[in-house]
Structure 1
Amino acid sequence: MKRLLNKVSSIGKTTIALILIISICDLSNTFAQRRGGGGRASRPAGHAGGMNRPASRPANTGGINRPNNNVGNRPNINNRPNNNGGINRPNNTVNNNGNRNNGNRNNGNRTNINSGNTNVNINVNNRNTYVRQNNYRPYTRPPYVYGGRSFYSYHPYFYHPYHPFYWGPAWHPWGFFVAALATTAIVVTVANQQYHYDQGVYYQQSNGGYTVVQAPVGATVTTIPSGAQTVVVQGAGTTTTNNYYYGGTYYEKSDGGYTVVPPTAGSIVTSLPEGGKETKVGDVTYVKVGETYYQPIQQDGKDVYEVVKVDEVKTP
């Protein structure tokens, strides 16, 4: 009996030892798997030679840890200013209708005239309105001085209201727009600028039509309207020059016909065009057409206007 108990005890001890060995092996394998050792299948994928490198390393060609130079992540070239060759220059894009925006300004009396692809500023009031001095006829009356300027005239001031004159359906004031010209219109070029002339009126092409402008000094036409007024410019003694006046424009006879000239100081006209403005200068009211001053006077009992010469007062 004692021998049997010793045998059972020996078997129990062996069993317990086996159980402990098995348990220790299982724990060892589990611990080894957790540490990543002992098997290739447990290594992170994508690394050669079994080196224990981080699996989260960025993917780069050749395994070099360079910044991601993916071209798709570069700034969008299309977001650069639109310039030839991709150079970062100021954007010189062309605006609608191919017209470049070159100083398209609205300066007081200026009217923007769009001619083809170029913006042309036509000054509808101040163009070529300077006054020619009559060097052969000195003034016998003292000037009217006001505001630092001297206003010369040959005749005494006689106020009468300004009423624009109507030269008929073919005549239009400065700034007037027409969609098309009559077939009688001709082309006149002055200082490399092209104008269209028809029945005493000058036009320049604008966007979608033509705009009336002041007659350019130097333009020569073969004929002027039959209603033109003869203006006698008196010189020294019996010397006189005949100008021709129509619609606010002055002409002199020339070899090619009639050439546009500035008004001569002292010239007297019976009518002024639309677009003039009564301008108060001290106690005197002039009519200003463009930059030309006209003094209201009376001659032979009729209300007329004299071209005034204006000078800056010179201080000693």
Structure 2
Amino acid sequence: MKNIKKTLRKTALACLMGSFFLISIDSIAQHRGGGGGARRGGGTISRPATQSRPAVSRTSGSSGINRPTTANRPGSNGSGTQISRPSTGSNSKIANNNRNSNNVNRNNTGNRNTNISGNTVNRNNINVDRSRDITINNNHNTVVRRNTVIYTRPPYRYGGYRYNTFHPYYFHPYHPYYWGPVWHPWGFFVATLAVTAIVVSVESTQYHYDQGVWYAPSNGGYTAVPAPVGGTVNNIPSGAETVNTGTVNNYYYGGTYYEKDGSSYKVVPPTAGTIVENLPEGGKEVTIGDVKYVKFGETYYQPIQVDGKSKYEVVLVEEDK
């Protein structure tokens, strides 16, 4: 009997220690596994332990980047069933919409820039009065008569040409001069002429002359033009100034040079070395090397200073051989 009792005690003690050992192992497993046993159970709700960013994938049939829209959500039965949403169509539409809106914006911007550029060009064309560029009968006042006086200063050489003047270059800005209300600059258009206008024929071409201004018929009216060389009139405006060419006196008014011819006045080309104080509209400032001239047709005027006053001298331009 004693042996049986000892055997039963040993067996009970072994069972008790085995149960305690199993309970301890299970407890340690749960502690280290973070509830892994709960995930293995069929009746409990499982949550994903970590969140990872879905990888961006490109599909061969899509023009943009498709973001995966399938979401791994646990099912109601706790089995972690994957619920998927079809996303290819929706993402493609969004991408296409974005691309279309960008294209529309770019096109609008381009059109807007084109319009601005076009307006700028138009404004410049309107502001520039091309009729005053003296393209009408431009050949009439371009020939420069050579002066018989010998130049004592060396010419300015540039680009294969010699620019001869009696006075040194002294820059001052070109400001067109206005000779009064009865004078009109070259390119000015009038519908009718005053009764004092006369007809002057020069080389089979008829001009109209009135108070120092020469006109040519154009567009149902008359346009002020450079005076034709050789044109002769009986009177010139009282405001004409006398300019010395070095050989004879000329009379200068409104950009035109006259020479006394008996009882009349004949239009002549400017003489090299002639000095005038004022120039009319229609000239262009041109830079040649280090010198800025005012050019009418092919006639160059060099800015100079005489007795402290800003004036212009007619330049003799020659080919530098």
Deviation of the 1:291 alpha carbon: 1.7
Give the letter for the 2:146 counterpart: Q
Q: Relative to structure 1, is the Cα distance of residues 263 and 292 closer, same or farther in structure 2, using a 3 angstrom cutoff?
A: same
Show the 5 A alignment for 1:49-68: none
1:287 aligns with 2:287: no
1:196 aligns with 2:208: yes
1:220 aligns with 2:232: yes
Deviation of the 1:124 alpha carbon: 4.5
Q: When the two structures are superposed, what TM-score results if normalisation uses the length of structure 2?
A: 0.57
User: 1:123 is matched with which residue: 109, 117, 136?
Assistant: 136
Give the letter for the 2:206 counterpart: Q
**Aligned counterparts of 1:220 and 1:272: Cα–Cα separation in 2:** 22
Residue pair 1:124, 1:175 contacting (<8 A) in 2 also: no
Show the 5 A alignment for 1:106-255: 123-135=136-148, 137-234=149-246, 240-255=247-262
In structure 2, runs of 5+ residues without a counterpart are 1-128
Give the letter for the 1:264 counterpart: T
Deviation of the 1:161 alpha carbon: 0.8
**Aligned counterparts of 2:166 and 2:176: Cα–Cα separation in 1:** 23
**Aligned counterparts of 1:110 and 1:295: Cα–Cα separation in 2:** 24
Q: Relative to structure 1, is the Cα distance of residues 260 and 287 closer, same or farther in structure 2, using a 3 angstrom cutoff?
A: same
User: 1:307 is matched with which residue: 288, 303, 314?
Assistant: 314
Deviation of the 1:176 alpha carbon: 1.3
Partner of 2:112: none
Residue pair 2:141, 2:299 contacting (<8 A) in 1 also: no
Residue pair 1:143, 1:152 contacting (<8 A) in 2 also: yes
**Aligned counterparts of 2:189 and 2:203: Cα–Cα separation in 1:** 23
Give the letter for the 1:148 counterpart: G
**Aligned counterparts of 1:291 and 1:171: Cα–Cα separation in 2:** 24
Residue pair 1:248, 1:273 contacting (<8 A) in 2 also: yes
Deviation of the 1:147 alpha carbon: 1.2
Give the letter for the 2:271 counterpart: T
Deviation of the 1:278 alpha carbon: 1.0
Residue pair 1:146, 1:282 contacting (<8 A) in 2 also: yes
Which protein is richer in strand relative to its size?
1
Deviation of the 1:196 alpha carbon: 0.2
**Aligned counterparts of 1:229 and 1:299: Cα–Cα separation in 2:** 17
1:269 aligns with 2:276: yes
In structure 1, runs of 5+ residues without a counterpart are 1-108, 112-120, 235-239
Give the letter for the 2:243 counterpart: V
Structure 1 moving runs of 4+ over 2 Å: 121-128
- Report the count of equivalent residues: 191
User: 1:85-118 CA distances to partner (integer Å, 9 max, x unpaired)?
Assistant: xxxxxxxxxxxxxxxxxxxxxxxx997xxxxxxx
CA RMSD of aligned residues (A): 1.8
**Aligned counterparts of 2:153 and 2:180: Cα–Cα separation in 1:** 37
Partner of 1:297: 304
User: 1:182-211 CA distances to partner (integer Å, 9 max, x unpaired)?
Assistant: 111001011111000001100011121011
Residue pair 1:158, 1:296 contacting (<8 A) in 2 also: yes
**Aligned counterparts of 2:138 and 2:268: Cα–Cα separation in 1:** 16
Partner of 2:89: none
**Aligned counterparts of 1:233 and 1:177: Cα–Cα separation in 2:** 32
Deviation of the 1:122 alpha carbon: 6.7
SS of the residue corresponding to residue 127 of structure 1 reads helix
Residue pair 1:124, 1:174 contacting (<8 A) in 2 also: no
**Aligned counterparts of 1:124 and 1:159: Cα–Cα separation in 2:** 29
